[in-house]
Amino acid sequence: MNSKNNLQNSQFDISRFFEQAIQHHQAGQLEQAKKKYQEILDTNPQHADSSHLLGLVEYQYGNYMKAIEHIQQAVLISPKQPVFLNNLGNVLKEMGELDRSVQAYQQALEIAPDDAEIHNNLGVTLKEMGELDRSVQAYQQALEVAPDDAEIHNNLGVTLKEMGELDRSVQAYQQALEINPQYAEAHNNLGNVLKEMDQLDESIHAYQKALKINPQYVEVYNNLGNVLKEMDQLDESIHAYQKAIQIQPDYVEAHINLGVVLREQVRLKESIQAHQQAIQIQPDYDEAHINLAITFLLQGQLTAGWKEFEWRRSRKRDFKRPLWDGTPLNGKSILIYAEQGFGDTIQFVRYIDLLPDANTIIIVFCQPELKTLFKSMDRIDTLVTKGEDIPNSDVHVPLLSLPYMFNTTLNTIPARIPYLYPNPKADSVFHLDGSHDLKIGIVWAGRPTHADDNNRSIDLKWFKCLLDIRNCEFFSLQVGERREDIKQHGHHRTIKDLGKQFTDFHHTALAILQLDLVISVDTAVAHLAGALGKEVWTLLPFVPDWRWMLDRSDSPWYPSMTLFRQQETGGDWSPVFERLRLALTRYSQS
């Protein structure tokens, strides 16, 4: 009789303790809850709910290993409880154990196939794994059970955006907002996808709705700043970033973005301060260092700029061999690899001639389009490109690290021009006719995927004011889709299209050598003309790429280059082409 009473008393105590533990837990009194759960388990180690909830307390403390241990114990005691498996999946996901997280959710769904929350959690984890199709499928299964769950529609929109299914992503966000018009996160996400669709006014409208619901939504201010920057509303963009920083002073992305816009307004001292503030908040954030480097380099502060620019190496590939530290090579082999665009490679390949020790074996990895052109460089022993086996080497170095290795300043830029010598015998070369007119090559557009292409590429219509200048013949060196601009603007009789014959930069170089002058926006062709020693006039936006610096009409990188700059923001090229027409008229008369 006493044994039976003791058992009943024990069960009563456990029930009472469990209620108390839950009350503490719900009140956020984690330490008291933890103590009560542990007391219950000391009395009854098979109390699955206490083991499960003790695991959640440890999860809230960030003790993930202990959390898993307790929740797994709960699953062993009561394996048919989907909530245990769901929370086990949640903890595993936070730990980055995504495969095991998926397994836990799938086990839970075998028990509770109509649980929308578990399907949703599975979809989130599959997205993090990059399993986007399966993620969409999980969300769709969740919505079959809970079609009015705004969060699931929102999560579906996030995955669809990542898949590039932008229209479907918009629909998902709009569905979430029909269900819950006060869903600030969905408004923000809608704004993001509309920005990607280049619907900038609609994007701003979505962000403003999010801020009306939650005026302290710091991420939205940052996103709004990005769109305003893209619309060239720089003052408004700065205000948005400053608002984000006011709400969250350690918001590092907002400091970086603020620095970028200040640079575009040529407020360089303030730009440097913004980037330095970002670095102070997060010293190892490569993007902050790289943007600081760009501002230094734009000012001509090359020593400080190259040093900060080395942070880009954290993003580069690992060649499984030591990085060259600038010490003598003494006959060793070195791999030098291109890492950015064609223009960067053409500009900095000059540094190969500076490498010490004539017996050093130099291997260069470059873009396929440059391989034939670079064969003219005697110092290169082996040229390889994408898809080809890279020979073993003793050390490696990215091409754009060479200015840092050689401590390049404005006074020591290696400008022995030309440093590229295309070989006419390497290709069946076309020859321009032998007229006495000036032969002028033009380029009006760069690679459309370039981050700053909106600023550097221009409409062919701007060149119209040059085409009637006497004693001038015009030849297009343009490649890609923008070649069609010649026909669309009706200039096919006045501009000869050479670009249709180019398959690589060696062909472009052979054409440039037959010209008297190249007029180009900031593209690889401008670099190529400069590297060949051909006279080149380069057209630059108000705030150009860092290598052209500010307030000068020459380039220390290319002695044969003249820079024609916009004098103010706003994208108006009229004053530039007025100066260009005057200069070309004088040039043709001389």
User: One-letter amino acid identity for 450?
Assistant: H
| 333-405 matches 427-589 in fold | yes
Residue 157 and residue 186: Cα distance in Å, rounded? Answer: 9
Class level of CATH domain 427-589: alpha beta
Query: How many other CB atoms are there within 10 angstroms of residue 112's CB atom?
Result: 17
Class level of CATH domain 80-147: mainly alpha
Q: Where are the beta strands (DSSP E) in 349-399?
A: 361-365, 382-384, 395-398
From first to last of its 590 residues, what are the pLDDT tens digits of the chain? Answer: 443 344 344 555 788 888 888 999 999 999 998 998 898 898 899 999 999 999 999 999 999 999 999 999 999 999 999 999 999 999 999 999 999 999 999 999 999 999 999 999 999 999 999 999 999 999 999 999 999 999 999 999 999 999 999 999 999 999 999 999 999 999 999 999 999 999 999 999 999 999 999 999 999 999 999 999 999 999 999 999 999 999 999 999 999 999 999 999 999 999 999 999 999 999 999 999 999 999 999 999 999 999 999 999 866 666 778 999 989 888 899 999 999 899 999 999 999 999 877 789 999 999 999 999 999 899 999 999 998 999 999 999 999 999 999 999 999 999 999 999 998 876 656 677 777 789 999 999 988 887 787 788 999 999 999 999 999 999 999 999 999 999 999 898 999 999 999 999 999 999 999 999 999 999 999 999 999 999 999 999 999 999 999 999 999 999 999 999 999 887 789 999 999 999 999 999 98
- Which pLDDT value is given to residue 10? 57
The structural domains of the chain, with segments of one domain joined by +, span 1-67, 80-147, 333-405, 427-589
> Strand, coil or helix: what is 476?
strand
Residue 427 and residue 373: Cα distance in Å, rounded? Answer: 11
CATH of domain 333-405: 3.40.50
Sheet with 361-365, edge to edge strand ranges:
382-384, 361-365, 333-337, 395-398
Query: How many other CB atoms are there within 10 angstroms of residue 353's CB atom?
Result: 13
Are 351 and 381 spatial neighbours (Cβ–Cβ below 8 Å)?
A: no
Are 495 and 472 spatial neighbours (Cβ–Cβ below 8 Å)?
A: no
> What CATH architecture does domain 1-67 belong to?
Alpha Horseshoe (1.25)
Nearest to 315 by CA among 344, 289, 279: 289
Residue 241 and residue 579: Cα distance in Å, rounded? Answer: 37
What per-residue string of b and e applies to 538-568 under the rule 16 or more CB within 10 Å gives b?
Answer: bbbbbbbbbbbbeeeeebbbbebbbbbbbee
Are 559 and 550 spatial neighbours (Cβ–Cβ below 8 Å)?
A: no
Q: Which residue intervals of 397-523 are DSSP H helices?
A: 402-405, 453-456, 485-488, 505-512
CA atoms within 13 A on the CB side of 575: 12
Nearest to 583 by CA among 514, 535, 549: 535
Sheet with 536-540, edge to edge strand ranges:
495-497, 472-476, 438-443, 517-521, 536-540, 558-565, 554-555
Determine the Cα angle at 554 with ends 549 and 560, to 5°. 130
Residue 279 and residue 290: Cα distance in Å, rounded? Answer: 11
Phi, psi dihedrals of residue 337, rounded to the nearest 5°: -125, 140
> Distance between alpha carbon 354 and the CA centroid of its chain, in Å?
32
Residue 546 and residue 566: Cα distance in Å, rounded? Answer: 15
For residue 519, give both structure tokens: 């007029």
Please give the model's pTM, rounded to 2 decimal places: 0.88
Are 428 and 517 spatial neighbours (Cβ–Cβ below 8 Å)?
A: no
Are 33 and 61 spatial neighbours (Cβ–Cβ below 8 Å)?
A: no
